[in-house]
A and B are shown apart, each in its own frame.
Chain A
Amino acid sequence: MTDNDQAILAAAEMSPRIARYSRTFDYLIVVIAAFLVWSVTHIHFLLFAGDWDFFIDWKDRQYWILITPIVSIMSAAAFQAIFWSLFRLPIGATASALLFLIGVWIVRYHSWEGMAYFPLSLVVPATGLVGAMALDCILVLSRSWVITAVFGGVIYGLSFFPTNWIYLAPYFQPAEHMGEMASVADIIGYVFPRSGTPEYIRIIERGTLRTFGDSANWVSAFFSAFVCIFAYSVFWLMGVAACTPKYIPVGYRFKELYGAKIDAGAV
Chain B
Amino acid sequence: MSKILKKATLLVLAATTLLFSLMDQAAFAHGERATEPYIRTRTVHWYDVTWSTDALNVNDTVTVQGKFHLLNDWPDSVSLPNLVFLSNGSPGAVMTRVESYINEIPARQSTKGLIIGRDYDFKLVMKARKVGQWHLHPVMNIHGAGAVVGPGEWITVSGNEADFKDPLTTLTGNKIDDLQTFGVSRVQMWQFGFGLIAAVWILWWLRRPLIISRWLVVQKGRENLLITPMDDKVAAGLLVLLAMVVLVGYTRTTSEFPELVPLQSGSLSAPPLPKPPHAVEVKFKRAEYDVPGRSMRLSVEMTNTSDQPVSVGEFTTANLRFINKSLPAAVAAVSSKFPKELVPRNGLVIDNPEPLAPGESRLVNLDTTDAAWEVERLVSFLSNVDSRMGGLLFFYDGKGNRSMSEVYGPIVPVFKKTI
Contacts and interface: CB of A to CB of B under 8 A. Distances in A.
A186 interface: yes
B205 interface: yes
B93 interface: yes
A191 B30 CA distance: 20
Interface in A158-182: 159, 162-163, 165-182
Contacts of B176: 184
Nearest to B261: A174
Given A136-B201, A136-B235, A170-B257, A198 B30 contact: no
Given A4-B228, A8-B217, A190-B108, A162 B184 contact: no
Given A124-B184, A140-B235, A191 B264 contact: no
B184 to A, nearest CB: 5
Contacts of B99: 178
Q: Is the interface of A mostly helix, strand, loop or mixed?
A: helix
Interface in A195-251: 195-196, 198-200, 202, 204-205, 216
A175 B108 contact: no
A15 to B, nearest CB: 12
B182 A121 contact: yes
Contacts of A205: 262-263, 265
Most chain A beta-carbon neighbours within 10 Å: one of B172, B214, B263: B263
Interface string A7-35: 11101111000010011011001100000
A166 B250 contact: yes
B137 to A, nearest CB: 9
A132 B194 CA distance: 11
Given A23-B209, A140-B227, A169 B257 contact: yes
A204 B179 contact: no
A157 interface: no
Interface in B50-99: 83-85, 87-99
A11 B242 contact: no
A36 to B, nearest CB: 14
A95 interface: yes
Contact of B225 (A8, A23, A187, A194): A8
Interface in B158-198: 166, 168-172, 174, 176, 179-184, 186-187, 189-191, 194-195, 197-198
B231 interface: yes
B242 A173 contact: no
B259 A183 contact: no
B30 to A, nearest CB: 6
Interface in A89-125: 89-91, 94-95, 97-98, 101-102, 105, 115-122, 124-125
A61 interface: yes
A150 interface: no
Contacts of A8: 208-209, 213-214, 217, 225-226
A175 B168 contact: yes
A87 B245 CA distance: 30
Interface in B117-169: 129-130, 139, 141, 143, 147, 166, 168-169
Given A94-B202, A171-B183, A193-B97, A26 B235 contact: no
B194 A130 contact: yes
B185 to A, nearest CB: 9
A86 B215 CA distance: 6
B143 A200 contact: yes
B179 A188 contact: yes
B30 A195 contact: yes
Contact of B262 (A60, A121, A134): A60
B183 A170 contact: yes
B249 interface: yes
A256 interface: no
Nearest to A196: B147
Given A11-B216, A133-B242, A200-B110, A60 B263 contact: yes
Contact of B184 (A9, A30, A120, A187): A120
Contact of B182 (A57, A105, A170): A170
B260 A169 contact: yes
Q: Which of A196, A200, A204, A205 has the most CB of B within 10 A?
A: A200
Given A86-B218, A118-B93, A169-B257, A216 B232 contact: no
A174 B172 contact: yes
B141 A12 contact: no
Contacts of A86: 215, 218
A181 B285 CA distance: 52
Interface in B197-237: 197-199, 201-202, 205-206, 208-218, 220, 222-223, 225-228, 231-232, 235-236
A22 B139 CA distance: 61
Q: Which of A9, A129, A133, A177 has the most CB of B within 10 A?
A: A133
Given A8-B214, A8-B217, A118-B92, A188 B194 contact: no
Contact of B208 (A4, A118, A192, A196): A4
22 contacts: A4-B228, A11-B217, A11-B220, A12-B216, A13-B216, A14-B209, A14-B212, A23-B209, A87-B211, A88-B226, A119-B179, A129-B191, A136-B235, A163-B249, A167-B191, A167-B253, A173-B174, A173-B257, A187-B168, A192-B93, A193-B96, A193-B97
Interface of A: 2, 4-5, 7-9, 11-14, 19, 22-23, 25-26, 29-30, 57-61, 86-91, 94-95, 97-98, 101-102, 105, 115-122, 124-125, 127, 129-130, 132-134, 136-138, 140-141, 143, 159, 162-163, 165-188, 190-196, 198-200, 202, 204-205, 216
